């Protein structure tokens, strides 16, 4: 079983068959960086009056965006907590470096049209060549999709 981001599958296989080579060639990496921070001034720059669990901010030029999640509410901290914590994606250049608590680099699937169209073919041939593929990308892209992909492999093995 290979449970890795799809862009890493081909380098994990010693001898990919033509089908595997074809469907996984469509996948590429999406490099992302998230930042945990306490910079409430981020909101002042955009004139936002408060914080929500998922605030989207347009980037300069309007062709990109980032989001900022208010962690206090998501984590159940009291409204009057002395520090406001946030998780930001694609906004690091707008956050005061002195207020960054942690930076995390991620590698996720890049969902292009070609990649997305290969999902059914990957699932249909799962188990051929005695190789099984698991991952959130095969279903909804979330943790639940990863679990669902593992359950589908279990079902293939039991049948």
Q: What is the pLDDT of residues 67-118, one digit of tens each?
A: 999 999 999 999 889 999 999 998 888 899 999 999 999 888 999 999 999 9
User: Which pairs from 82-85 meet CB under 8 Å and 24+ separation?
Assistant: 83/38, 84/38, 84/40, 84/51, 85/36, 85/37, 85/38
3-state SS track over 37-99: ECCCHHHHHHCCCCCCCCEEEECCCCCCEEEEEEHHHHCCCCCCCCCCCEEEECCHHHCCHHH
Asked if the model's pLDDT at residue 2 lies above 90, the reply is: yes
Q: What is the pTM of this model?
A: 0.71
Pick the more confident residue, 62 or 150.
150
Residue 49's pLDDT is 79
């Amino acid at each position: 079983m290979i449970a890795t981001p799809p862009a890493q599958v081909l380098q994990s296989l010693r001898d990919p068959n033509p089908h595997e080579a074809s469907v996984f060639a469509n996948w590429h990496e999406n490099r992302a960086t998230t930042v945990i921070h306490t910079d409430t001034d981020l909101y002042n720059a955009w004139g936002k009056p408060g914080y929500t669990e998922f605030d989207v901010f347009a980037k300069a030029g309007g062709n990109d965006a980032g989001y900022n999640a208010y962690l206090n509410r998501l984590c159940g901290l009291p409204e009057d907590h002395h520090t406001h914590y946030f998780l930001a994606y694609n906004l690091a250049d707008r956050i005061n470096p002195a207020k960054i608590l942690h930076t995390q680099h991620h590698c996720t699937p890049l969902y292009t049209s070609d990649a997305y169209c290969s999902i059914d073919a990957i699932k249909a041939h799962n188990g051929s060549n005695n190789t099984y593929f698991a991952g959130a990308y095969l279903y909804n892209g979330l943790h639940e999709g990863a679990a669902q992909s593992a359950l589908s492999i279990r079902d293939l093995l039991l049948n």
